[in-house]
Structure 1
Amino acid sequence: MRFTSLIVSTAFGFVWGGCVPQVTFAAPILTEPYLDVVPRTEAEMARIKSATRPTTDFSKPEPFEQNSAGKATTRARSDHDAFSQSSESLSFEQELDFKLGNGLFKKLWVSSPSSTLASDGLGPLYNARSCQRCHLKDGRGHTPEGADDSRVSMFLRLSVPTPAQTPMTEIETYLAALDGDAVTARTSPEPTYGGQLQDFAIQGHAAEAQMDLQYTERAVALSGGETASLRVPTYSMRDAGYGAFADDVQISPRVAPQMIGLGLIEAIPVADILVRADADDADGDGISGRAQVVWSQEFKQPILGRFGWKAGHGTVIEQSADAFAGDIGISSPLAQRPYGDCTETQNSCRKAVHGDGDVRVDEVDAQGLDLVAFYSRNLAVPERRDVSSPEVLRGKEMFYAAGCTSCHTPKYVTHRLASQDNTAQSFQLIWPYSDFLLHDLGFGLADGRPELRATGTEWRTPPLWGIGLTEQVSGHTQFLHDGRARSLLEAILWHGGEAQNARDTVADMPPDDRTALIQFLESL
């Protein structure tokens, strides 16, 4: 990536390791208004630079490598609750808040009107009745297996191209200043069905439609005479409840991601993420990570996108509020839509009885939303297993040699936070294995659906911590944004675009080295 050695003012307004990236656009500074940050000293910057330097010694584990989340790491468990533990450093009072948030996360919402005035407001259209229904045991969702299997932890995002004459939103105006002529195609919710397909409805209302999914198999040759088979998905929608879909509808399948380590991701300095962005591939390494930028409803300004398959949210609490509204139909102070994702065309849904009114302004109030966000921020990352194993260390070397760390950045040090509410996230050496940037992964994984700066072929690099516990927690080994990969190897083989060289290196390496690489991933 290209840098200058001069300390100059940039549009992003940051300095990292004594260097700043060359930035040619004029746009507002990206900040973290949701964090109370203590500035780093020069001595701390030197320590951080040393601690986060990529390793070249694969003969032994790195210092503190076993504790993927610093002091927020929890002890490894052998049951389904490995992702449902709180950060070890929470106080007694914070542990109580964590448990209350967990209760709200599991809470089953009911339709209005109801005698349970604190729990009504479901829908009228929805994808799940609780957060836990999608993020079962705080792990990954799954694809439907068989005609009768539930689609609860998977749905389709919907959009259409925005008509050219439509006025730009605040974030679109910002992105136009940021990217100029290269601005991503603008999209809007599907006129009738909104931003996502909701396959459930309360009594008296029709569900929007049902998602259908079919696979075909494609063989892939590997070194050593080995082969793999990739399942290629085809998506369709049937039983439309509100008329025809727009001819130019864009769909994107999404499986619920795992929940661990979110507060730590939120505490990574903006500068440490943006410094890895190289939109024009100035260094010629074939990797062109771009930062997603989103609008903060809470702070009324653009912020860095960090969460979601295309980094469509910048904070845990706004991600939570949007999920309440879109997935369950529950309004909150940050998403005051008691009808959820219902559009103006779905008139009966808009006019239905909702859970807001005289008893409470929003269906989940500010305190409840804060508790759910606190719970989500403090779900601990389990400690690594087998970090000293020679086979795992060999696999780690293969991971680096293949170039996987070009996007899956191993480690960061989080902000030093002034608030005592964030002690678990403050100044921790963490190992998420992600740069949290958007990358073009090729047409094989493309959904063709732009989202803010993300094109139809771009996805945020997902963090890898905890990935080896997926089967233990979630009961399956399905990966990628739509769960098409049935193993970690299949997930690698689906990579294209910027990751094509890394993918080909893994496919061509000696089988024993490839096996070791998978064992390294399973240790995360």
Structure 2
Amino acid sequence: MRSISRFTLPLVAALSLTCPATAQEDNSVPWAGLKDIHLNVIPRTGAERDRIAKVTAPPTDFSAPWTFEENSGGAQTVRARQTADAFSQPAANLSFEQELDFKVGNGMFKRLWVSPPASTIASDGLGPLYNARSCQRCHLKDGRGHPPEGSEDSAVSMFLRVSIPASDSAEIETYIAGTHPTAPDPTYGTQIQDFSLPGHAPEARMQITYDEFEVPLSGGEHATLRQPTYKATDLGYGPLHPGAMLSPRVAPQMIGMGLLESIPAQDILAWADPQDTDGDGISGSPQIVLSDVYDRPMLGRFGHKAGNPTILEQTASAFAGDIGISNPIHTAGAGECTDAQTDCTAALHGGNPKQDGLEIDQTGLDLVTFYSRTLGVPARRNVDDPQVLHGREVFFETGCVACHRANYVTHRLEQGNPASFQLIWPYTDLLLHDMGPGLADNRPEGRASGREWRTAPLWGIGLTETVSGHSYFLHDGRARSLLEAILWHGGEAQTARDTVVNMPPDDRTALIRYLESL
């Protein structure tokens, strides 16, 4: 448990404690002291910044595709396959040696872990409590997860986060100013594991019930939404804390993560407007988290509430929390078991002396991280289709782009880094936004309130059904179509959502067609 006493400074002051800059900074934006993970950034010249501003400027002409728009991931873009492997291709610009690392990382991503002791040391260490036996089991084909369908369907690609309000500063997990004071449930930790090894009870079973209601749309059309209610039932280790807050999460898609990691932090922070000073109703805020690797505050980018700053830390957290695998960042052999779960903490684990007593060592963790970092982004489809072009215009005019920022240019990085200096089109600002009471999980995480979520990237969203075999969206998969996902938007997105409800049906159809082309 981290001590609250290390930083009690205001946010801006805390961020000033980070490493000296290696690149020219624009100190005109808030949080200018916040640094990226990339230490070998080549500074942008004034002429280069002008070029970038020009190429990423909002469009004025919607009559034809924009230059390079079809290459969503820049040079990492891959051909859009119409198969379930569309999200599983290596980035197009990997070297031969990098592609070999990608394939080894892919093998480890798919590896089925087994319970200790096992003769297969490389796969030894599952559990004792877990949500899945491999990364691939949650991120099937590197796509998004889904809620269980019917009593026989497993919730393997979905789980419940849990935390409690922290009443004592010593309980607070992080010390970044502005962080909501929360702590793990004393018995169940930070997430509910619904599988276990023999001899151990699963922590709980996730139960979902839905209430459906209709939403009238213009032109006499209507849509049906389903409001979920979540419960943790069949609790294996006693009651939850009376103040326990549960939040459902489906596994997100994996593509383009290395590119998102390579967007300059200040390009993201430049869009932050927590006080809505421009009066447009959009007040995106950055998630700031303590990096376990760099031991300093960093911009959160990954996870539904941007709770992790780097892919490495996101990967290490998933190994420990989802599979129960100890690693160089989370070293406990029992994974996420708590002190209250004595049989779990005392169980035999698969730590190998040749791997520093861990179940996956730094080399293995780095390979899975590299794989996650270098999955290619499928190319856009039908970019010159008249209906798609019209839908793009509707997307911009409706205000969707206020949060789903269209494009960026990544850092110019060291030679050989495949994410270096790419014009990309992820359609996200990576900031936190109040999405209203309908989508609220009422569970704060870091600096995100119980109503705030990170803007989800939209690239590849039109291939969801091709890859994952379903069309479920949002953090908990409640939306069964892109239209339903839009209709759940509230809070800062309420005006845009209402515009979609009231626009001519042809415009609404074109908007969905555009999203399907991403």
Q: Shorter-chain TM-score category? A: over 0.9
Between the aligned partners of 1:118 and 1:411, the Cα distance in structure 2 is 40
Between the aligned partners of 2:54 and 2:406, the Cα distance in structure 1 is 13
The equivalent of 2:375 in structure 1 is 379
The equivalent of 1:3 in structure 2 is none
2:350 aligned to which of 352, 355, 368: 355
* CA-to-aligned-CA distance 1:214-248 (integer Å, 9 cap, x gap): 11101101001110010000111111110111111
The equivalent of 2:156 in structure 1 is 152
Deviation of 1:76 (Å): 1.1
The equivalent of 2:141 in structure 1 is 137
Q: Does structure 1 residue 428 correspond to structure 2 residue 431?
A: no
The equivalent of 2:3 in structure 1 is none
Residues 470 and 477, structure 1, Cα contact 8 Å, conserved in 2: yes
Name which of structure 1's ranges 35-44 and 250-259 shifts more when overlaid on structure 2: 35-44
Q: Does structure 1 residue 438 correspond to structure 2 residue 432?
A: yes
2:96 aligned to which of 89, 92, 95: 92
Between the aligned partners of 2:52 and 2:164, the Cα distance in structure 1 is 44
Root-mean-square deviation (Å)? 1.6
Q: How does 1:108-127 map to 2 (within 5 A)?
A: 108-127=112-131
Q: Does structure 1 residue 468 correspond to structure 2 residue 469?
A: no
- Give structure 2 stretches of 5+ with no counterpart: 1-11
Residues 144 and 250, structure 2, Cα contact 8 Å, conserved in 1: yes
Q: Does structure 1 residue 58 correspond to structure 2 residue 66?
A: no
Deviation of 1:22 (Å): 5.5
Residues 269 and 414, structure 1, Cα contact 8 Å, conserved in 2: yes
The equivalent of 2:203 in structure 1 is 208
Q: How does 1:86-485 map to 2 (within 5 A)?
A: 86-166=90-170, 168=172, 171-172=174-175, 174-175=176-177, 183-360=178-355, 361-420=357-416, 422=417, 424-485=418-479
Deviation of 1:33 (Å): 3.3
- Give structure 1 stretches of 5+ with no counterpart: 1-9, 176-182
Relative to 1, partners in 2 of residues 1:505 and 1:187: Cα closer, same or farther, differing over 3 Å? same
* CA-to-aligned-CA distance 1:90-129 (integer Å, 9 cap, x gap): 1111110000000000000001111111111000000000
Between the aligned partners of 1:149 and 1:301, the Cα distance in structure 2 is 41
* CA-to-aligned-CA distance 1:106-162 (integer Å, 9 cap, x gap): 000001111111111000000000000000000000110000101000000000001
* CA-to-aligned-CA distance 1:185-226 (integer Å, 9 cap, x gap): 311111101100000001111100100001110110100111
Deviation of 1:485 (Å): 0.1
* CA-to-aligned-CA distance 1:361-389 (integer Å, 9 cap, x gap): 21111010000000000000000000000
* CA-to-aligned-CA distance 1:69-88 (integer Å, 9 cap, x gap): 11000011111000000011
The equivalent of 1:180 in structure 2 is none
Aligned amino acid, residue 403 of structure 2: C
Q: Does structure 1 residue 520 correspond to structure 2 residue 517?
A: no
The equivalent of 2:29 in structure 1 is 21
Q: TM-score if structure 1 supplies the norm length?
A: 0.93
Relative to 1, partners in 2 of residues 1:452 and 1:413: Cα closer, same or farther, differing over 3 Å? same
Aligned to 1:417, the other structure's residue is in SS state coil
Between the aligned partners of 1:224 and 1:447, the Cα distance in structure 2 is 33
Aligned amino acid, residue 116 of structure 1: T
Between the aligned partners of 1:106 and 1:449, the Cα distance in structure 2 is 31
Aligned to 2:237, the other structure's residue is in SS state coil
Between the aligned partners of 2:30 and 2:128, the Cα distance in structure 1 is 49
Between the aligned partners of 1:77 and 1:254, the Cα distance in structure 2 is 27
Relative to 1, partners in 2 of residues 1:94 and 1:498: Cα closer, same or farther, differing over 3 Å? same
Aligned amino acid, residue 439 of structure 1: H
Residues 16 and 272, structure 1, Cα contact 8 Å, conserved in 2: no
Between the aligned partners of 2:329 and 2:135, the Cα distance in structure 1 is 17
Q: TM-score if structure 2 supplies the norm length?
A: 0.94
* CA-to-aligned-CA distance 1:171-191 (integer Å, 9 cap, x gap): 42x32xxxxxxx343111111
Between the aligned partners of 1:139 and 1:75, the Cα distance in structure 2 is 16
Identical residues among aligned pairs (%): 61
